Amino acid sequence: MATGYFPGCSLEGTAAEFDMSIRALAQALGLPLAEIEDWNCCGASAAHQTNHLLGLALPARTIALAAAQGMDEIFAPCAACSNRLIAAQAEWLGDAGLRAEVEHAIDMALPAARIPVRNCIEYLLPHLEKIKAAVTKSLAGKKVACYYGCLLVRPPKVLAFDDPENPASMEKVAAATGAEPVAWGFRTECCGAAFAMSSTASVARLCERILTNAKAEGAHMVVVACPLCHANLDMRQPKGMALPVVYLTQLVGLAVGIAPKALGLGKHITPVAAAIA
């Protein structure tokens, strides 16, 4: 099966360490990772809230490109990107008229059948045994709080990924490294997402609740699979907290012996060195 890698805008900018860790881990484990040529921004929240057709056309073009390049599935590690690609595709597949309108807008034919779009957790989940076999530096003794946020599990009827209230898939991947996922109550609570600029105080309050709960349950670090969640939780910590926030691919990468520098662990706001020592 050919997997098309769609890094999206964040992984080429503010979440460069996510991209670094994905590429390094894929190479270490021998996982498929062929970047979709000429991909474009998915529009994130701005496009689909501003112009409905634009919000569909942007993800549609990337999906059409993947299909034209012989890709059977798309790996979109950014939670916002995977959410938009899945939601947009579901909308035009159920409406022939809308599909024709979108194809006219992008001047490309859309695939006749749905192309599966995988998030970061789904990309790693089938390879648990391979991860376990590749572990050279077990993370046994490290307690991790796996954080899903909103976009990985909602809306549940569209995404159809894990239990929206009590997911367990990220914990399975984390456990393959030897780490111990903690039970905590804020795994799917919102971090404030893109309101970081327009309502900073609200985002800081939400992040404090999330991080405080993770810390109270004994977590040594929070594990995420979303660039926006990472940015908020990493930057907006309560005074004196200093709870490291790492990407799932960084966690797995550490366990299989990839150097911290190659995983981009020096790029975080909250230092991670003490937590991974």
List of domains in the chain:
3-120 (1.20.1050.140), 127-276 (3.40.50.11810)
Q: Determine what percent of the chain is predicted with pLDDT higher than 70.
A: 100
Q: Determine what percent of the chain is predicted with pLDDT higher than 90.
A: 91
| Structure-block tokens of residue 95 | 């409406």
> Per-residue pLDDT averaged across 206-218, rounded?
97
Helix (H, G, I), strand (E, B) or coil at 102: helix
Instruction: Note the pLDDT tens digit of each residue in 100-147.
Output: 999 999 999 999 999 999 999 999 999 999 999 999 999 999 999 999
Judge residue 48's burial from the number of C-beta atoms within 10 Å of its C-beta, 0-12 exposed, 13-18 middle, 19 or more buried. Answer: buried
Please name the residue ranges forming H helices in 52-95: 52-68, 79-93
Instruction: Note the pLDDT tens digit of each residue in 42-85.
Output: 998 777 678 999 999 999 999 999 999 999 999 999 999 999 99
| Structure-block tokens of residue 73 | 């599935």
Residue 223 near residue 251 (C-beta atoms within 8 A): yes
Is the overall model pTM greater than 0.85, yes or no? yes
CA 168 and chain centroid, separation: 15
Task: Determine the Cα–Cα distance for residues 252 and 121; give it in Å rounded to an integer.
Answer: 11
Peptide bond into 155 cis (omega under 30): yes
**Any residues with CB less than 8 A from the CB of 117 and at least 6 apart, and which?**
63, 73, 74, 76, 82, 85, 86, 89
Beta strand residue intervals within the chain, DSSP E = 3-5, 34-35, 73-75, 117-118, 143-146, 180-181, 221-224, 245-247
- pLDDT confidence of 89, banded at 50, 70, 90? very high
In this structure, of 46-50, 108-112, 188-192, 207-211, the range with the lowest mean pLDDT score is 46-50
- Compute the 3-state secondary structure of the chain and give helix, strand, coil in percent, each to the nearest 5: 50, 10, 40
Residues recorded for the chain? 277
Residue 261 near residue 49 (C-beta atoms within 8 A): no
> Per-residue pLDDT averaged across 194-222, rounded?
93
Q: Which of 195, 199, 192 is nearest to 149 (CA)?
A: 192
